[in-house]
Amino acid sequence: MGRTIIRALAIVMVGGIGTQTSFSAQQTWTGIISDSQCRGDHGGEVDERECTQKCISNGDKYVLVTDYGKKVWDIANQNFPALADHPGHTVKVTGDLKGSAIVISRIEGR
């Protein structure tokens, strides 16, 4: 009887592993699209949009700055088309958090 229970549990456990699916719930952040060099601090008297565009053209990466500059999120999919439309803008970003980077699925201007 003991072996039968162990076999039944093993079958259930193996079957459960095969059917498990990992879904990560999308999250939403509100912040400013900036660059990895300035990280939201563009020196005060410069245009944030122009500064971000210049840094990006020099090879820096887009980031999302939230919590009044306290948190800087890396963006995993740098080629997301709407990023180029929103440097220096406050936006609402929807996506998945993979490690410490956001994989953007949607950007809305605010």
Domain range summary for the chain, segments of one domain joined by +: 23-109
Mean pLDDT score, 64-80: 95
Q: What is the CATH number of domain 23-109?
A: 2.40.50
Pair 87, 7: CB distance under 8 Å? no
CA angle 100, 57, 26 (to 5 degrees): 30
Please determine, for residue 22, whether its predicted confidence score (pLDDT) is greater than 90. Answer: no
β-strand pairing of 90-98 with 101-109: antiparallel
Residue with the larger pLDDT of the pair 63 and 16 = 63
Please determine, for residue 17, whether its predicted confidence score (pLDDT) is greater than 70. Answer: no
Mean pLDDT score, 24-30: 90
Please determine, for residue 16, whether its predicted confidence score (pLDDT) is greater than 60. Answer: no
Please determine, for residue 26, whether its predicted confidence score (pLDDT) is greater than 90. Answer: yes
Q: For residue 7, what pLDDT is reported?
A: 55
Taking the C-alpha atoms of residue 37 and residue 67, their distance in angstroms, rounded to an integer, is 18
Largest CA distance in the chain: 79
Taking the C-alpha atoms of residue 78 and residue 81, their distance in angstroms, rounded to an integer, is 8
